[in-house]
Amino acid sequence: MSHAEGKMRLLVTGGAGFIGSNLAELALRRGHEVTVIDDLSTGFRENLQDLQVTLHEASILDNDALDAVVSGQDSIVHLGAIGSVPKSIADPMATHEANAAGTLRVLEAARRAGVDHAIVASSSSVYGRNPALPKSEREWVRAMSPYAVSKLATEQYALSYQESYGMKTLAFRFFNVYGPKQAAGHAYAAVIPVFMDALIHGRPLPVNGDGNQSRDFTFVGTVCNVLLRAAEERSTAVEPVNLAFGTNTTLLELISSIEEVSGAEAVVHHRDPRAGDVRHSQADNASLMELFPGLEAVPLMDGLRQTYEWFKETQR
């Protein structure tokens, strides 16, 4: 049965985080009921203010808390994770517990409650050492960080639950998602918020390495649109699915685009390359387009403009 027309009960793990809170907002706008479980270790209560969600402040490693929130849901979008390569290198055990064991706990809670649809977030970092461009889901993977290993575990657990228990699951590989509500002020922040924050406050933009490394940047609005559509349509796939649009932007190109949307001139400060970082990342998105025909992505300049406006309003 499709929930595309009717109202759906949606559980978002990590729903106070950057992607999760944007997804919650979109789901509410479409008339769905949203429950969030988040221990607020990297998410923020403010991300959910003014949103009519039911927030459970708890860890996905707490089985009792999971059972309480999973029961009665139509679909689960599992975003709760420690989402950082450097953090995983500093503390691999914590990343394994949250990401690999955490995913397994969410899937087990779903199985106990008879919830048969779950979408999980994997990452382009699983491709690691594979130099192929663009990267197709059938390409070999070679993780370069404990984070990437934990995301491989995330997607493979979800796929194994289709085979073993008949659960409808879908594992998306995210590629460099950016947009409003993405935090800048911490050591492990993603590159776009770091650049925008630095530019707004008149600081040099820190670039790891030469700046010619490239990424397939995907606007959070596009990602949330896909996640919600997948939940509404109860989509499932037997292999992981790249959630990106085959763009290829170097960090130096990104900086000139940010200069363009902000009207400010950036000073670039080059630092040493970062351990575990993939040099180039670009998605083959044939599987995504097959699953969701007619899907359109927000172009980079439009996404950067919206993101910059949000930063200007919130980072005073």
User: pLDDT, tens digit, for every residue of 211-269?
Assistant: 999 999 999 999 999 999 999 999 999 999 999 999 999 999 999 999 999 999 999 99
Q: Where would I find the H helices in 166-299? A: 191-200, 220-232, 251-262, 286-291
Q: What is the CATH number of the domain that holds 22?
A: 3.40.50.720
Residue 3 predicted with pLDDT over 70: no
Does any domain span residue 112?
A: yes
Chain segment 25-36, per-residue pLDDT in tens: 999 999 999 999
Does any domain span residue 138?
A: yes
Does any domain span residue 99?
A: yes
Does any domain span residue 262?
A: no
149: its two tokens = 């290993």
Does any domain span residue 233?
A: yes
Does any domain span residue 207?
A: no
Domain count for the chain, please give it: 1
pTM of the model: 0.95
38: its two tokens = 């988040």
1 confidence band (pLDDT: 50, 70, 90): very low
* CA distances (Å), origin 206, targets 42, 268, 309: 22, 6, 21
Does any domain span residue 237?
A: yes
* Beta strands at 168-174 and 214-215: parallel, antiparallel or unpaired: unpaired
298 confidence band (pLDDT: 50, 70, 90): very high
Closest CA to 242 of 77, 125, 148: 125
